[in-house]
Amino acid sequence: MGMLDGKVAFITGGARGQGRAHAVTCAREGADVVIADVIDQLPTVPYKLATKSDLEETVRLVEAHDRRAVAVKADVRAQDQLDAAVAAGIAELGKIDILIANAGIWTLGSFWELTDEQWEEMIGVNLTGVWRSAKAVAPHMMANGSGSIVITASVNALEAGQYTAHYVAAKHGLIGLMRNIALELAPYGIRCNAVCPGAVKTPMTNHQDAWDMFAGHPGGTEDDMTEAGHHYTLLSGTSWLDPQDVANAALYLNSDLGSKVTGATIPVDAGHLTLSGFNPASTRANSPALPLSVLDDLGECDHDAAGGVLESSADEGSRLRGGFASRRIVGKVEVKQPVCRGRAAVFLRPDLRRLKPDYARELPRERKLLRVSRLEGSRVGGIGIHEADFGRLAVLRHGGPPGC
């Protein structure tokens, strides 16, 4: 007997990643599923979103569990498309008992450099899209007098993250939205909860650009990313989570086991949120309010293919532009030129000065990073999610020579 026998689940962003894990888990536990996904590229998203064949593969996996699947192309920013997807699901499968509002995007940029389009697309998909998804199923669930809604938030619904103000704002907003949905639908016997995943290995996060960032040089591998992930979790042996870890939490919430749980926020993060933090801006008097990372622009630079040498020859004054592709991190750096012309940028965990005196020896206390003469073996991990949390030292660059 399955935990969701006889139920029907509506899953947004269900073509792949966590959405696929939700769909297959629901099917394995006896539910039919409606899978809605945009199946298109959004202008501000630098990695590839799901394709039609991804969607078809999820349908195949659901059907392999002997359950029915209705697949619909729908953008969660469009109410009419969601309403049509819900109507198609009810027409085909009879009802909708469960909503897993999972569709989301992830892009990077310092908050002062985000474009209107980046901001609006992020809020549109990751926050408004969830409101629209809940709005699409609510009247039907209210008429039935039962239902369960699980919203995929993030640890970034509960903590800040570097270069993701728009993502963090959307995800924080989801917690308020979830609580209000729980409040307003409780009289109808409908529950609403949020899961907050830590770093999960999905096509959103697992691609060459990310590997390069973790490796600190072009040609990075998945192993580099895995290694960095070990700095993001607390539980021994954990690195990036599997989508199934999140699907398991949603299954609990959607099943009878969670029947008295509503308005709850459940981290699925291998302890990430329990990790102790540190203050990136020293509280010493006269200390400049440094952000966690110092962001200057490397501009033109030279370094060997292995990232061994870096010499900045750029003019002073220009700024790093936000964006995924431009945020390559170069490891193992030797800065030849002292200070001045460089527009180099270095991530430095302030606590590293304490933990790694050998690396930190030559580092100045503040942002005169280019005084560093040699940093053997320095490594980073940090993709935009938490560069500094993973990392030790990183140099950001953009616009350098090919292969730089």
- Annotated catalytic residues are 167
- Interface mask toward ligand NAD for 309-338; x: CB under 6 A: ------------------------------
Cα distance between residue 390 and residue 388, in whole Å = 5
Q: Residue 25 class from Cβ within 10 Å (0-12 exposed, 13-18 middle, 19+ buried)?
A: buried
Q: Which stretch binds ligand NAD (CB under 6 A): 196-204, 305-313, 327-335, 363-371?
A: 196-204
Q: Which stretch binds ligand NAD (CB under 6 A): 1-9, 70-78, 221-229, 338-346?
A: 70-78
- Interface mask toward ligand NAD for 83-102; x: CB under 6 A: -------------------x
Q: CA torsion 312→317→319→325, rounded to 10°?
A: -20
SS3 104: coil
Count of residues that interact with ligand NAD, criterion CB under 6 A: 30
Query: Nearer Cβ to ligand NAD, position 102 or 238?
Result: 102
Kindly report the backbone phi and psi dihedral angles of residue 151, in degrees, each rounded to the nearest multiple of 5, phi listed first. -105, 130
In the beta sheet, which residues pair with residue 346?
395
Q: Which stretch binds ligand NAD (CB under 6 A): 14-22, 186-194, 214-222, 341-349?
A: 14-22
Strands 32-37 and 69-73: parallel
Q: Provide, rounded to whole angstroms, the least separation between the CB of residue 268 and ligand NAD.
A: 9
Query: Nearer Cβ to ligand NAD, position 152 or 255?
Result: 152
Query: Nearer Cβ to ligand NAD, position 230 or 336?
Result: 230
Kindly report the backbone phi and psi dihedral angles of residue 19, in degrees, each rounded to the nearest multiple of 5, phi listed first. -60, -40
Cα distance between residue 356 and residue 314, in whole Å = 30
In sequence order, the 6+-apart residues with CB closer than 8 A to the CB of 215 are 221, 224, 331
Interacting positions 253-272 with ligand NAD (CB under 6 A): none
Q: Is residue 147 a contact point for ligand NAD (CB under 6 A)?
A: no
Q: Is residue 397 a contact point for ligand NAD (CB under 6 A)?
A: no
Q: Provide, rounded to whole angstroms, the least separation between the CB of residue 306 and ligand NAD.
A: 29
Cα distance between residue 300 and residue 312, in whole Å = 6
Q: Provide, rounded to whole angstroms, the least separation between the CB of residue 402 and ligand NAD.
A: 29
Chain CA centroid to CA 13, Å: 14
The DSSP call for residue 188 is G
Q: How many CB atoms lie within 10 A of CB 366?
A: 11
In the beta sheet, which residues pair with residue 268?
197
Q: Is residue 164 a contact point for ligand NAD (CB under 6 A)?
A: no
Positive or negative CA dihedral for 25, 31, 32, 36?
negative
Q: Which stretch binds ligand NAD (CB under 6 A): 75-83, 248-256, 292-300, 395-403?
A: 75-83
Count of residues in the chain: 404
Q: Which stretch binds ligand NAD (CB under 6 A): 203-211, 216-224, 277-285, 297-305?
A: 203-211
Q: Provide, rounded to whole angstroms, the least separation between the CB of residue 312 and ligand NAD.
A: 32
CB 20 within 8 A of CB 69: no
Query: Nearer Cβ to ligand NAD, position 104 or 173?
Result: 104
Element (H, E) at 152: strand 147-152
Q: Which stretch binds ligand NAD (CB under 6 A): 12-20, 278-286, 312-320, 321-329?
A: 12-20
Interacting positions 101-120 with ligand NAD (CB under 6 A): 102-106
Cα distance between residue 264 and residue 194, in whole Å = 6
The DSSP call for residue 97 is -
Query: Nearer Cβ to ligand NAD, position 12 or 148?
Result: 12
Binding residue for ligand NAD, selected from 152, 233, 238, 378, defined by CB under 6 A:
152
Strands 98-101 and 8-12: parallel
Kindly report the backbone phi and psi dihedral angles of residue 40, in degrees, each rounded to the nearest multiple of 5, phi listed first. -165, 165
In the beta sheet, which residues pair with residue 329?
396
Q: Is residue 136 a contact point for ligand NAD (CB under 6 A)?
A: no
Query: Nearer Cβ to ligand NAD, position 229 or 299?
Result: 229
Binding residue for ligand NAD, selected from 8, 27, 71, 75, defined by CB under 6 A:
75
Binding residue for ligand NAD, selected from 3, 10, 12, 295, defined by CB under 6 A:
12
Query: Nearer Cβ to ligand NAD, position 3 or 122?
Result: 122
Residues that bind ligand NAD in the complex, under the rule CB under 6 A: 12-13, 15-19, 37-38, 49-50, 75-77, 102-106, 125, 129, 152, 154, 197, 199-200, 202-205
